């Protein structure tokens, strides 16, 4: 039986590319879901996964209910570095390898984070709407030069944002509980405690993973400890922000503006943020510019092939330490 890979990443829906060549050259059949072009729901994924041996995954939910129907599934190869939509324990129990694509899309996310910062600081969206409607009201924008940018998370993406901030003459503070010292490529960044970052930042950009510890990290209590008129940018995960609290802070002016690419629920139908002022939104696209999606797709496909051909790409496997060795593909 020819092993099948289900390509769930919507951006790749029925798209040619090197990732297809990698899979097909290794003997895989490639299939796209019927409801392609968007992120699959739990019920859609459960219905589609069938006898697939591997998936190239987006943020569709790999729940216990989905996994118990995936009798042949051996690999979930995620395009990106987040994997909070996957039940790690349930997958690992079934011997399913979970992979991601580290070091591929952080520059794309950094560009998008800074684009959101510039958009809200310079009132780009509001200015466009005003002129397009026949008006010409002129309001001063928010200066970035000389201001302090707080980075929550100083991994690859946080460091890439710091490099861009330096070009705008911004000072950078960073909080990262996993670091004891500033990395060599970020000597200009001051590593500080969380409270000092909140109190000392004119703008804050989130680059932390979604965990129990970071859930609703930005909430009424932490917003209260920020500078009045702070700007908030989130290109990490929606679960980091209490949307109701942020909406209140935007309406009160405590948070001057925000740029969000991610949400507690996606799409954010019914979110109080949709009626909040001084907000620029994008549909979880920070990490998928054309170069990044090509690179991620190729890496995700190569990981599947590596595992199929008995190579062990441990640096790309989320649950490598929990899987038995030798790992069984069949």
Please report the pLDDT score of residue 89 as a whole number.
Answer: 96
Instruction: Give per-residue pLDDT as tens, 117-137.
Output: 999 999 999 999 999 999 998
Domains 4-104+289-322 and 106-281 share a fold: yes
pLDDT above 90 covers what percent of the chain? 92
Can you tell me the mean pLDDT for 20-40? Answer: 95
Q: What is the pTM for the complete model shown? A: 0.88
**What sign does the dihedral 20-24-25-28 (CA atoms) show?**
positive
Residue 61 has pLDDT above 90, yes or no: yes
Domain 106-281 superfamily per CATH: NAD(P)-binding Rossmann-like Domain (3.40.50.720)
State both tokens at 152: 């929550």
Domain 4-104+289-322 superfamily per CATH: NAD(P)-binding Rossmann-like Domain (3.40.50.720)
Place of tokens 């670091």: 179
Residue 187 has pLDDT above 90, yes or no: no
State both tokens at 328: 């069984």
| Residues with catalytic function | 237, 266, 284
Please report the pLDDT score of residue 330 as a whole number.
Answer: 84
Can you tell me the mean pLDDT for 158-169? Answer: 97
State both tokens at 304: 């599947």
Q: Which of 100-109, 131-140, 179-188, 209-218 has the lowest mean pLDDT?
A: 179-188
pLDDT band at 166 (very low <50, low <70, confident <90, very high): very high
Residue 246 has pLDDT above 90, yes or no: yes
Sequence spans of domains, the chain = 4-104+289-322, 106-281
Residue 182 has pLDDT above 90, yes or no: no
State both tokens at 217: 């990290």
């Amino acid at each position: 039986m020819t092993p099948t890979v289900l390509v769930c990443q919507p951006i790749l829906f029925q798209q040619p590319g090197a990732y297809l060549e990698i899979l097909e050259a290794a003997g895989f059949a490639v299939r796209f879901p019927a409801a392609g072009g968007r992120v699959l729901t739990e019920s859609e994924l459960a219905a589609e996964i069938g006898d697939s041996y591997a998936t190239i995954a987006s943020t569709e939910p790999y729940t216990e209910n989905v996994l118990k129907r995936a009798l042949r599934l051996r690999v979930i190869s995620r395009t990106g570095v987040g994997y909070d939509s996957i039940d790690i324990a349930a997958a690992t129990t079934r011997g399913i390898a979970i992979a991601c694509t580290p070091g591929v899309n952080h520059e794309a996310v950094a560009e998008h984070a800074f684009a959101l910062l510039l958009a809200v600081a310079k009132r780009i969206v509001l200015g466009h709407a005003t002129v397009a409607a026949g008006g010409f009201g002129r309001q001063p924008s928010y200066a970035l030069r000389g201001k302090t940018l707080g980075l929550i998370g100083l991994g690859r993406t946080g460091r890439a944002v710091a490099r861009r901030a330096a070009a705008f003459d911004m000072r950078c503070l960073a909080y990262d509980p996993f670091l004891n010292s500033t990395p060599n490529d970020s000597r200009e960044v001051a590593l500080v405690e969380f409270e000092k970052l909140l109190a000392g930042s004119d703008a804050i950009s989130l680059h932390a993973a979604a965990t129990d510890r970071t859930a609703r990290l930005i909430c009424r209590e932490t917003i209260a400890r920020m500078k009045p008129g702070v700007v908030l940018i989130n290109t990490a995960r929606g679960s980091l922000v209490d949307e109701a609290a942020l909406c209140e802070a935007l309406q009160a002016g405590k948070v001057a503006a925000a740029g969000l690419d991610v949400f507690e629920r996606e799409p954010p139908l019914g979110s109080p943020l949709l009626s909040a002022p001084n907000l620029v939104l994008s549909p979880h696209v920070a990490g998928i510019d054309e170069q990044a999606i090509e690179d991620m797709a190729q890496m995700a496909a190569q990981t599947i092939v590596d595992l199929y051909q008995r190579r062990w790409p441990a640096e790309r496997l989320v649950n490598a330490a929990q899987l038995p060795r030798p790992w069984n593909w069949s």
